[in-house]
């Protein structure tokens, strides 16, 4: 059951939403960043702040969990959900950090494509997380999970295509090293969203 | 206990066998592929189909698990077993996908060596999984676990040897980037088999 | 509760200490190694022996766990603690193995910096693990966890700095490939220490 009658537990869901909102903010800002020609120190700091805010919410949830007797669903599933949400924001932050360290200049059209798919997927993640509060949202949640899976497949194909293109056309090995890592990390964000969708589906099925 | 008296639960073991069979099929097909000069679209599609079939079985098991009150062993161990089996097939599929994307042509003798060790290890994995049904198979299961550990060590040495050779002899950095990733991923398949053996040993010891 | 009255369980903590001591030995030896000009076969073998000793302790703990009815804290947390401790030593061993395979000659000042931070962090890990036995150590444990988090941030900045320097100054792509992997693995040791600190804090909070 979702213990709809236990208002105290609603705060867990509020915290999940807050953590998901950080992931959405990170994805939206990432999309914004890759459309610019350059990542400066201020842009990097802003992304880092978003990641830090997400981290704080994750710690709040785990502290709350360790002190709570009653939880809206299994502890291990809450741990898994918090970890996946944290990993989404972390991985986006890692990509931006690498772009800065590797001094990636100019707009990379492939990274723009990845940023679009990532933003779509993370927005579906936030719908899924918000929907968990109440069984009546089951259809919306399952549909969004299907969408997250679809976007992971889109990301897989995109990564294969851009890597093939990179190894075909780029003659500078140092550039290959840099972009290969960034493209693979970008696809990993979509893998994490898919793992999160599995966690949520499993929670819903147990309570069905 | 293995609940030998509860025939309903046998279907979990049947599903584990089915999932392990997909891993064996992937390993055997991988061995076949690396002995050819080229991976074409059809070969790649076939590997992808095997991976997809394994995925479907994994989802079946998790759905069944979420709906079952009684399970043949701890839920978290079932989750871990399904995940490791899924990871084996996934990683083999990933390697084939990279070989296609990186346009690896010709037979690489080191990859043939890895494919041999991987197939041996995955066959031991399927013996281990099949043996879990009944305590009377304990010796066979433990012996196969030891074999899987041995093959992981073989894989470690093989990876170190082929990487040393690659960095010593290959002067094209782009080729180094490609083969380094593929060799490391090949060794990862053996790590996953070892993790799976740990899960199974732990299940058996708890029930001893 | 820490079940201070159950002396039999003390042996779990003794084993955790033994496993942590292997991680400290690995970190100290790693620091020693990176200050030398060359890693020879004997040095590599010694590191491998430390890793193997740690592995044996990990297996002892898991065997003991699978056979015990009463454990000093949740089984899943013991599993997590043992895994993180094992991962620390494993990752240090992996770095040394790569340095040998890649024939890294001469002293790399960046690796010396990483080895210092790693040793500090792993020593804090051993304090944390030793402190878990008794609630009266809570302050020492929490302070050491904060120190481990601080060192992880130090490692993050260090990795970004040395990668930026590497991509700026090193013109040989093969050397870039080698050092990039080694620096990233070095930072991963600090990530694992941080994950371990999270596990320990969670155990303490549950028992508060």
Query: B97 CB near a chain A CB, below 8 Å?
Result: yes
* d(CA C52, nearest CA chain A) in Å: 30
Owner of token pair 């900045």? C157
Q: List the chains bordering chain A where 3 or more Cβ pairs fall under 8 Å.
A: B, C
A175 dihedral zone (left: phi>0; alpha: psi -120 to 50; beta): alpha
Return d(Cα B16, Cα B24) in angstroms, integer. 12
* d(CA B165, nearest CA chain C) in Å: 9
- Contact across the interface for B205 and C97, Cβ inside 8 Å: no
Find chain C residues with C-beta within 8 A of B77's C-beta: none
Instruction: From B92, B77, B94, B114, select the one nearest B23 (Cα to Cα).
Output: B92
CB B103 within 8 A of CB A167: yes
Q: Which of A65-79, A132-146, A158-172 has the lowest mean pLDDT?
A: A65-79
* d(CA C48, nearest CA chain A) in Å: 29
In terms of C-beta density within 10 A (0-12 exposed, 13-18 middle, 19 or more buried), how is residue A6 classed? exposed
Instruction: From A117, A124, A201, select the one nearest A162 (Cα to Cα).
Output: A117
Return d(Cα A151, Cα A145) in angstroms, integer. 10
- The answer, yes or no, to whether residue A36 has pLDDT greater than 90, is no
Q: Output the CA–CA distances (angstroms, integers) from residue C69 to A26, A175, C74, in the order listed.
A: 45, 56, 11
What's the rounded mean pLDDT across residues B167-191?
97
What's the rounded mean pLDDT across residues C52-56?
96
Return d(Cα A44, Cα A41) in angstroms, integer. 5
Return d(Cα B24, Cα A174) in angstroms, integer. 38
- The answer, yes or no, to whether residue A1 has pLDDT greater than 50, is no
Quote the pLDDT of residue B9.
54
- Contact across the interface for A167 and B97, Cβ inside 8 Å: no
Which CATH homologous superfamily contains domain B8-207? Phosphate transport system protein phou homolog 2; domain 2 (1.20.58.220)
Quote the pLDDT of residue C107.
92
Return d(Cα C50, Cα C22) in angstroms, integer. 6
- Contact across the interface for B97 and A160, Cβ inside 8 Å: yes
* d(CA A1, nearest CA chain C) in Å: 24
Q: What CATH architecture applies to the domain A7-206?
A: Up-down Bundle (1.20)
In this structure, what token pair is assigned to residue C116? Answer: 């210092």
Query: C66 CB near a chain B CB, below 8 Å?
Result: yes
Find chain B residues with C-beta within 8 A of C62's C-beta: 198, 202
Find chain A residues with C-beta within 8 A of B76's C-beta: 76
pLDDT, tens digit, 9 for 90 and up, residues A106-129? 899 999 999 999 999 999 999 999
Instruction: From C154, C163, C166, select the one nearest C184 (Cα to Cα).
Output: C163
Quote the pLDDT of residue B95.
97
Q: Output the CA–CA distances (angstroms, integers) from residue C37 to C40, C100, C118, C184, C195, in the order listed.
A: 10, 12, 20, 21, 32
In A, minimum Cα distance to C200 occurs at A66
Residues 100-159 of C with CB under 8 A from B: 100-103
Find chain A residues with C-beta within 8 A of C176's C-beta: 173-174, 177
Return d(Cα B74, Cα B133) in angstroms, integer. 14
Instruction: From A45, A21, A22, select the one nearest A33 (Cα to Cα).
Output: A45
In chain C, the percentage of residues whose pLDDT exceeds 70 is 95
Instruction: From A89, A90, A91, A116, select the one nearest A33 (Cα to Cα).
Output: A116
pLDDT class for C63, splitting at 50, 70, 90? Answer: confident
Return d(Cα C132, Cα C143) in angstroms, integer. 13
Return d(Cα B114, Cα B121) in angstroms, integer. 11
Return d(Cα A111, Cα B180) in angstroms, integer. 24
CB A122 within 8 A of CB A88: yes
What's the rounded mean pLDDT across residues A33-50?
91
Domain ranges of chain A: 7-206
Q: What CATH architecture applies to the domain C7-207?
A: Up-down Bundle (1.20)
- The answer, yes or no, to whether residue C202 has pLDDT greater than 50, is yes
Residue of A167, A169, A182 to mutate, interface with B, max B Cβ within 10 Å? A167
Instruction: Please give the ipTM for the structure prediction.
Output: 0.89
Residue of A58, A66, A96 to mutate, interface with C, max C Cβ within 10 Å? A66
Query: C62 CB near a chain B CB, below 8 Å?
Result: yes
CB B9 within 8 A of CB B44: no
Instruction: From C78, C82, C73, select the one nearest C207 (Cα to Cα).
Output: C73
Cite the DSSP H helix spans in C68-172.
75-101, 109-131, 138-169
Residue of higher predicted confidence among A39 and B31:
B31
In this complex, the residue of A66, A173, A174 whose CB is nearest that of residue C202 is A66
* d(CA C67, nearest CA chain B) in Å: 6
C-alpha angle with apex C88: C84 to C92, nearest 5 degrees? 160
- The answer, yes or no, to whether residue C60 has pLDDT greater than 90, is yes
End-to-end CA distance of chain A: 8
Query: B163 CB near a chain C CB, below 8 Å?
Result: yes
pLDDT, tens digit, 9 for 90 and up, residues C88-126? 999 999 999 999 999 998 899 999 999 999 999 999 999
pLDDT class for A60, splitting at 50, 70, 90? Answer: very high
In 3-state terms chain A splits into helix, strand, coil percentages (rounded to 5) of: 85, 0, 15
Query: A177 CB near a chain C CB, below 8 Å?
Result: yes
In this structure, what token pair is assigned to residue A65? Answer: 């969990």
Q: Output the CA–CA distances (angstroms, integers) from residue C95 to B59, B170, C167, in the order listed.
A: 37, 22, 20
- The answer, yes or no, to whether residue C185 has pLDDT greater than 70, is yes
pLDDT, tens digit, 9 for 90 and up, residues C119-158? 999 999 999 999 999 889 999 999 999 999 999 999 999 9
CB A129 within 8 A of CB A16: yes
Find chain B residues with C-beta within 8 A of C101's C-beta: 160, 163-164, 167
Return d(Cα B156, Cα C97) in angstroms, integer. 10
In this complex, the residue of A160, A164, A176 whose CB is nearest that of residue B174 is A176
End-to-end CA distance of chain B: 8
pLDDT, tens digit, 9 for 90 and up, residues B92-123? 999 999 999 999 988 999 999 999 999 999 99
In C, minimum Cα distance to A103 occurs at C164
In this structure, what token pair is assigned to residue A26? Answer: 């990170």
Find chain C residues with C-beta within 8 A of A51's C-beta: none
Q: Output the CA–CA distances (angstroms, integers) from residue C56 to B35, B205, B208, C49, C86, in the order listed.
A: 38, 17, 21, 11, 10
Find chain A residues with C-beta within 8 A of C167's C-beta: 101-103, 174, 178
Inter-chain Cβ pairs, chain A and chain C, closer than 8 A: 32
- Contact across the interface for C167 and A174, Cβ inside 8 Å: yes
Residues across chain C: 208
Query: C1 CB near a chain A CB, below 8 Å?
Result: no
pLDDT, tens digit, 9 for 90 and up, residues B21-70? 999 999 999 999 999 877 888 999 999 999 999 999 999 998 898 888 88
- Contact across the interface for B167 and C102, Cβ inside 8 Å: yes
pLDDT class for B8, splitting at 50, 70, 90? Answer: low
In this structure, how many other beta carbons lie within 10 angstroms of the beta carbon of residue A106?
8
Quote the pLDDT of residue C1.
44
In this structure, what token pair is assigned to residue B36? Answer: 């050819």
- Say which residues have a Cβ less than 8 Å from residue A113's Cβ, sequence separation at least 6: A158, A162
- DSSP secondary structure of B45-88: HHHHHHHHHHHHHHHHHHHHHHH-S--SS-HHHHHHHHHHHHHH
- The answer, yes or no, to whether residue C3 has pLDDT greater than 60, is no
Find chain C residues with C-beta within 8 A of B168's C-beta: 103
Q: What is the DSSP letter of A72?
A: S
Quote the pLDDT of residue A135.
86
């Amino acid at each position: 059951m979702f213990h709809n009658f236990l208002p105290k537990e609603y705060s867990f869901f509020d915290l999940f939403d807050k953590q998901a909102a950080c992931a959405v903010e990170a994805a939206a800002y990432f999309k914004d960043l890759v459309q610019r020609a350059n990542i400066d120190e201020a842009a990097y700091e802003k992304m880092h702040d978003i990641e830090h805010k997400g981290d704080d919410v994750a710690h709040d949830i785990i502290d709350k969990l360790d002190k709570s007797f009653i939880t809206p669903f299994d502890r291990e599933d809450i741990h898994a959900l918090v970890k996946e949400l944290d990993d989404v924001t972390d991985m986006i932050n890692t990509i931006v950090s690498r772009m800065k360290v590797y001094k990636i200049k100019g707009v990379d059209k492939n990274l723009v494509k990845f940023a679009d798919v990532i933003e779509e997927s993370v927005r579906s993640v936030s719908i899924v997380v918000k929907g968990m509060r109440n069984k009546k949202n089951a259809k919306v949640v399952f549909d969004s999970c299907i969408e997250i899976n679809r976007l992971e497949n889109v990301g897989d194909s995109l990564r294969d295509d851009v890597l093939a293109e990179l190894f075909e056309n780029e003659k500078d090995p140092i550039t290959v090293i840099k972009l290969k890592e960034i493209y693979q990390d970008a696809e990993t964000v979509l893998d994490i969203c898919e793992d999160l969708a599995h966690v949520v589906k499993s929670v819903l099925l147990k309570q069905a």
